[in-house]
């Protein structure tokens, strides 16, 4: 029950910018900016597809699940290279702060990359139907933001988390990075 609520909130957070923000890439934009915005949109579509399968809003299909997980993994893995110096600030929504906080930005990118890789490995052997062990049983725990650090939980191994749990942690990383490094649409 609780997990459905959290997922709903995470999806709202995803949907907001998609619906409200006019595309900044419209017009003769910087190709680096346009490419990373397209990459972000692909990640959003992939995350949404997986979330909807877990939510029962879209039919679960192992091949579609795998394709979406592969997209997340590939796009998340490319993140660090997509924000070079000189491509930050308006008209892009990437904050210039990325440059002043590279280690933090890259740590977030590595974190989401690690989670997305773990999800893609799981999706490799996706069963024909959603199974109970793919679902999470409680709120997402990464020793992280929702519950505060639990002793011993900090080094949670993504490979041992249910797929749905990984998805939640991935969505948390989207939100964490956006709240620090992405300019809000006015
Ligand atoms: C490490 C930081 C970081 C992570 C992680 C991240 N994003 Fe982003 N995202 C950004 C930044 C910065 C921008 C603004 C890019 C620009 O306008 O140049 C952005 C922009 C976007 C956009 C708007 C693209 C457009 O057309 O303007 C969407 C949608 C988006 N992200 C979705 C996601 C989703 C979904 C995830 C997680 C699966 C995610 N992002 C993870 C930093 C991140």
- Has residue 186 been placed in a domain? no
pTM of the predicted protein model: 0.83
Q: State the CATH number of the domain containing residue 162.
A: 1.20.120.10
Residues 6+ apart with CB under 8 A from 102: none
Best residue among 178, 184, 185 to mutate for probing ligand 1's pocket (most ligand atoms within 8 Å of CB) is 178
For 42, the enclosing helix (H) or strand (E) is: helix 31-55
pLDDT at 20 over 90: no
Tens digit of each residue's pLDDT (9 = 90 or more) over 48-66: 999 999 999 999 999 999 9
Q: Supply the mean pLDDT for the chain.
A: 85
Q: Which residue has the tokens 């942690």?
A: 169
CB atoms closer than 10 angstroms to residue 62 = 16
| Full domain range(s) for residue 89 | 2-20+56-181
Predicted confidence (pLDDT) at residue 82 exceeds the cutoff of 90: yes
Residue 39 domain flag:
no
Residue 128: inside a domain, yes or no?
A: yes
User: Is the model's pLDDT at 112 over the cut of 90?
Assistant: yes
- Total tally of structural domains belonging to the chain: 1
Whether the predicted pLDDT of 92 surpasses 70: yes
Q: What is the 3-state secondary structure (H, E, C) of 129-170?
A: CCCHHHCCCCCCCCCCCCCCCCCCCCCCCHHHCCHHHHHHHH
From 50, 171, 182, mutation site for ligand 1 pocket: most ligand atoms within 8 A of C-beta: 182
Q: Is residue 40 part of a domain?
A: no
Q: Is residue 46 in a domain? A: no
Within a domain: residue 158? Answer: yes
49 lies in a domain? no
| Structural domain includes residue 37 | no
Question: Counting runs of H as helices and runs of E as strands, what totals does the chain give?
Answer: 6, 0
């Amino acid at each position: 029950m609780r997990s459905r609520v959290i997922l709903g909130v995470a999806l709202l957070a995803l949907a907001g910018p998609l619906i409200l923000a006019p595309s900044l890439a419209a017009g003769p934009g910087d190709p680096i900016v346009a490419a990373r915005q397209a990459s972000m949109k692909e990640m959003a579509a992939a995350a949404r597809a997986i979330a909807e399968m877990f939510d029962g809003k879209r039919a679960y299909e192992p091949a579609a699940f795998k394709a979406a997980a592969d997209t997340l993994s590939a796009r998340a893995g490319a993140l660090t290279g997509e924000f070079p110096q000189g491509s930050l600030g308006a008209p892009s929504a990437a904050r210039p702060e990325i440059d002043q906080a590279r280690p933090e930005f890259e740590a977030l990118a590595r974190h989401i990359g690690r989670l997305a890789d773990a999800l893609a490995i799981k999706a490799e052997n996706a069963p024909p139907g959603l199974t109970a062990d793919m679902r999470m049983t409680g709120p997402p725990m990464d020793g992280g933001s929702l519950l505060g650090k639990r002793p011993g939980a900090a080094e949670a191994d993504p490979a041992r988390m249910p797929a749905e749990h990984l998805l939640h942690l991935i969505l948390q990383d989207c939100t964490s990075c956006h709240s620090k490094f992405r300019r809000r649409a006015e």
